[in-house]
Amino acid sequence: MTDTHGFTEPVEPSPSVVEANRGVINTVPPNAEDFEDAQRGLIALPDVAVIPTRDDKGVAWNFAGYDFLLDSDDQAPPSVNASLWRQGKLTAVAGLFQVTSSGNRTIYQVRGYDLSNMTIVTGDTGIVVIDPLASYETAQYALKLFRDHTGITTPISAVIYTHSHVDHFGGSRGLFHETGDVIPKDLPVYAPEGFLEHAISENVYAGPAMARRAEYMYAAKLDKGPHGQVGSGLGLTISTGEVTLVPPTHYVGGPLIQPATPGEWSPANVVPWRKGLYQHSVDGIPMVFQLTPGTECPAEMNFYFPELRTMCMAENSTHTLHNILSLRGAQVRDPHAWSTYLTEAIQTFGEYTDVEFASHHWPRWGRERIVEFLSNQRDMYAYLNDQTLRLIDEGFNGIEIAEKLRHLPPGLAEHWYNQGYYGSLSHNFKAVYQRYIGWFDGNPAHLWNLPPVQAGVHYVQAMGGPAEVVRIAREAYQAETPQYRWVVELLNHVIFASGDTADAFEVPADVLQEAKTLQAEAMTQLGYGAENGTWRNFYLTGAEELRTGPQKPTSHGASDLVRSMSLDQFFTAMAKSVDGPKAALEQRSPIVLRWVLTGTGQECTTTLRNGVLIYVEGQDKLAGKPQATISLTREALDQLALSGIHFKENFDEAVRNEQIQVDDQAAADTVFGYLTYPDPVFPLVTPRPAPSGQEPGPVTG
């Protein structure tokens, strides 16, 4: 592909990358069991080449795009790390599988239809669906594959979300495409306590930034093939259909499902009672739940099927080193809690488990194999935690720790399922450091760093100007042992020195173009050599940005998330959009708005003061008399956020249409005039352009 700047693809891998890529496969003992497990129980392959979006204007999932993985031989092409190639071939195995069966109870999985798996269990009156994928479209087609090849037509009797990441609930409404999107009013939907709070927090509060970075992490738009995207380690990529949510009705750990007492414990549970376990039947299926907060997700749970001696490990144990901090952004996870809950799972369920499956990858069969797998995964997360703390106390910072501990010890590194396909040792050690110590490494030289553009200007000037820095970078790129990491660090300064700055500095256009070309080539080489799928995706997508500019992100829609928000969450989302400096300067007196949600009995107060929007449930007794009272339905409130851009203009139009009543529109408009809207097309590897006419987005992102 050649773009308007004259870049030509593909970049060929350098000899050093080719040698390293082929050699890595010999660092772990051969193991054919993964390929046998990934194929075991196959009932049907996907019966479509692509899954279209609901409007038929795009593609939500592309099976055919990954044919190159399935059709190839075992030897990786030179442009792909051989270990990642192996993982890509495994995650490309798609279809309907039977996991286990006993009596009238059977567990099925649909794999390879999204980043995650959909699991289906036959209940007494219908089917129970666990983790309905990331989007409406993939869930719809996954369920159809199940129906078509099992002949099971009983209705969906319950839905279970193992945790609050979008690839485990986003397809929930797609399950009901077969009923014309009609969801039974009495449908039980189970989730761990805290699910909705964390689903909103992750997908709305920092949603625009996370969504942008996810475009790089999963590289769903990047060309698929040996020179492009070969998966993300945890799966192939994430689907690009419509994100939906059927809100939970039952929370494990909530008021209605509390830990069982010894007297309540049923012998049918198979495992002995211990404190903190939950027993509950879902459509007649006995289940034992273990909450695991703070592990792979702030709200997550494992559960056990006594009748089948089978354990669902959610996303707490997968065939990869997982993330302590996702590259798309998230709260830093707790590897100590993670390892502790895995120990608890092993001690509680290990002796009584014959089958283990998870929300990603393929199952495992056999008690000894399962216990070994869980134990090695547990040891891995404990190692990350403990060794980071050991070196923190010796005075090392996060970057130093990541360089010092570049490999797991032999007993852990010799297993394919502990390789860093999705999480990496490098960014995980830094994440553990961040969890305990924070971003500051204690060196005051790093206490007040210059922003990238200003730093770029000064570095480039100090090194003799842009052309000289590019020359040095090219020498490093062409060295007998190429120094690609140094190349991208050097050229990053040149590229950002071209950004908008008060300093009188200009990078000549031809030099800047040369820097971008070389930077793209160096990032491509780093991507080719990465064992970690998300690192490869970031490097290759970053190279694409250098060539063609930031790409417009995929819109997944998230109306169900907005409708599921509490008022507190809604106004928290609004508050983070306020231009605080401007509001604080211009409005020295508070502006109090009373909100009345007609037909619900709910009301609240928001106060704009000191550049902050404060929310109080009901009447704020200390805020003074409201300048305006706004009366509207919850539906109208949601529509303000969902209708897209220009909250104030949409509000004014709704007032004119008498959908909203307000007694002082000017006061309300003053507050709404301070709302800002994120641009979803911001760059990551090039400087942000100078401010111009803003293209607003939704208030909630």
How far apart are the C-alpha atoms of 22 and 676, rounded to whole Å? 50
**Contacts of the segment 457-463: beta carbons below 8 A, 24+ positions apart:** 457/497, 457/501, 457/503, 457/505, 459/493, 459/497, 460/493, 460/494, 460/497, 460/505, 460/507, 461/505
Q: What are phi and psi of 422, to 5 degrees?
A: -120, -55
In this predicted structure, which of 117-131, 196-210, 488-502, 645-659 has the lowest mean pLDDT?
Answer: 196-210
- The separation between the first and the last C-alpha atoms of the chain, rounded to the nearest angstrom, is 33
Q: According to the model, what pLDDT value does residue 557 have? A: 64
Residue 669 has pLDDT above 80, yes or no: yes
Instruction: Give the model's pLDDT for residue 646.
Output: 80
How far apart CA 660 and CA 156 sit, in angstroms, is: 38
pLDDT score, position 500: 74
**Residue 394 amino acid letter:** E
Using one digit for the tens of pLDDT, what is the confidence trace for 538-557? 999 999 999 999 887 776 66
In sequence order, what are the residues at sequence separation of 6 or more whose Cβ sits closer than 8 angstroms to the Cβ of residue 36? none
pLDDT of residue 502: 63
Cα angle 480, 485, 491; round to 5: 100
Q: What percent of the chain has pLDDT over 70?
A: 96
Which residues are paired to 592 by β-bridges? 607
- Residue 346 token pair: 């092993």
Which strands sit side by side in the sheet containing 355-357, from one edge to the other?
Answer: 278-282, 285-291, 301-305, 310-312, 355-357, 364-365
CA distance linking residue 556 with residue 596, whole number of Å: 31
Asked whether 229 and 219 are in contact (CB, 8 A), the reply is yes
| Distance, CA of 80 to chain centre | 23
**DSSP labels for 194-236?**
THHHHHHIIIIITHHHHHHHHHHHH-TTSPBSTTSB---SSSS
Q: Which of 684, 424, 687, 329 is nearest to 541 (CA)?
A: 684
Residues 6+ apart with CB under 8 A from 363: 37, 40, 99, 109, 355, 356, 357
Give the pLDDT confidence score for residue 592 in this predicted structure: 97
Residue in the structure block whose two tokens are 């303000």: 640
Please list, in sequence order, all residues whose beta carbon lies within 8 angstroms of the beta carbon of residue 14, skipping any fewer than 6 positions away: 482, 525
pLDDT score at 186: 96
Angle of the 509-529 helix axis to the 533-548 helix axis, nearest 10: 160
Q: Answer for the pair 434, 398: CB distance below 8 angstroms, yes or no.
A: yes
User: Dihedral sign, CA of 656, 659, 665, 668?
Assistant: negative
> Which residues are registered as beta bridge partners of 599?
none
The answer to whether 421 and 321 are in contact (CB under 8 A) is yes
Task: Name the amino acid, one letter, at 343.
Answer: T
What pLDDT shows up at residue 555? 67
Q: Is the pLDDT of residue 701 over 70?
A: no
Mean pLDDT of the residues in the chain: 93
Whether 574 has a pLDDT exceeding 80, the answer reads yes
Backbone angles phi, psi at 576, to 5 degrees: -75, -5
Task: Please state the rounded mean pLDDT for residues 608-626.
Answer: 94
Residue written as token pair 């709302």: 675
* Helix and strand counts by DSSP (H, E) for the chain: 23, 21
In the chain, % of residues over pLDDT 90: 86
Give the residue with greater pLDDT, 524 vs 676: 524
Residue 562's pLDDT is: 86
Confidence of residue 202 (pLDDT cuts 50, 70, 90): confident
DSSP code per residue over 150-201: H---PPEEEEE-SBSSGGGTTTGGGGGGGGTTPPPTT--EEEETTHHHHHHI
- Count of beta carbons in the 10 Å neighbourhood of residue 404: 12
Estimate to the nearest angstrom the gap between the alpha carbon of 409 and the chain centroid.
28
Positive or negative: CA dihedral 73, 74, 80, 86: positive
Alpha-helical regions (H) of 463-502: 466-478, 484-497
Q: Beta partners for 110?
A: 96, 118
The pLDDT, as a whole number, for residue 221 is: 86
Kindly list the distances between the CA atom of residue 697 and the CA atoms of 207, 391, 513, in Å, as whole numbers in the listed order. Answer: 12, 44, 31
- pLDDT at residue 503, rounded to an integer: 59
| Length of the chain (residues) | 701
Contact 552, 697 (CB under 8 A): no
Give the whole-angstrom CA distance, residue 114 versus residue 301: 21
Task: Give the helix, strand, coil percentages of the chain, each rounded to 5.
Answer: 40, 15, 45
Q: Residue 647 has what DSSP assignment?
A: H
Whether residue 3 is predicted with pLDDT greater than 50 in this model: the reply is: no
Half-sphere exposure of residue 35: CA atoms within 13 angstroms, side-chain side: 8
CA distance 284 to 266: 14
How do residues 64-115 score in pLDDT, each as one tens digit?
999 999 987 778 999 999 999 999 999 999 999 999 999 999 999 999 999 9
Task: Return the structure tokens found at 698.
Answer: 């939704």
**What is the structure's pLDDT at 693?**
44
Asked if the bond preceding 262 is cis, omega within 30° of 0, the reply is no
pLDDT for the residue numbered 531: 97
Looking at the predicted structure, is the pLDDT value of residue 265 above 90? yes
pLDDT higher for 553 or 462? 462
Residue 654 CA to residue 210 CA, distance in Å, equals 31
Give the phi and the psi of residue 635 in degrees, each rounded to 5: -60, -40
pLDDT higher than threshold 90 for residue 645? no
C-alpha dist (Å) from residue 135 to 54, 115, 170, 311, 641:
10, 10, 5, 25, 21
Count CB neighbours of 568 within 10 A. Answer: 14
Looking from the CA of 358 toward its CB, the CA atoms found within 13 Å total: 21
pLDDT over 60 at 475, yes or no:
yes
Provide the whole-model pTM: 0.93
d(CA 402, CA 255): 43
**d(C-alpha 44, C-alpha 98), whole Å:** 10
Residue 139's pLDDT is 98
Cis? peptide before 13, omega within 30° of 0: no
| Structural element, H or E, at residue 71 | helix 67-71
pLDDT at 524: 98
| Confidence at 681, pLDDT banded by 50, 70, 90 | confident
| Secondary structure class of 557 (helix, strand, coil) | coil
pLDDT at 699 over 50: no
Which segments of 584-635 are extended strands (E)? Answer: 591-597, 602-609, 612-617, 628-632
CB burial readout 650-688, b (16+ within 10 A) else e: bbbebbeeeebebeebebbbbbbebbebbebeeeebbbe
Q: Which domains does the chain have, with CATH numbers?
A: 31-313 (3.60.15.30), 565-672 (3.30.1050.10)
Task: Give the E-state strand segments of 255-341 in sequence order.
Answer: 278-282, 285-291, 301-305, 310-312
301-305/285-291 β-pairing: antiparallel
pLDDT band at 7 (very low <50, low <70, confident <90, very high): very low
DSSP annotation string for 353-398: -SEEE-SSS--EESHHHHHHHHHHHHHHHHHHHHHHHHHHTTT--H
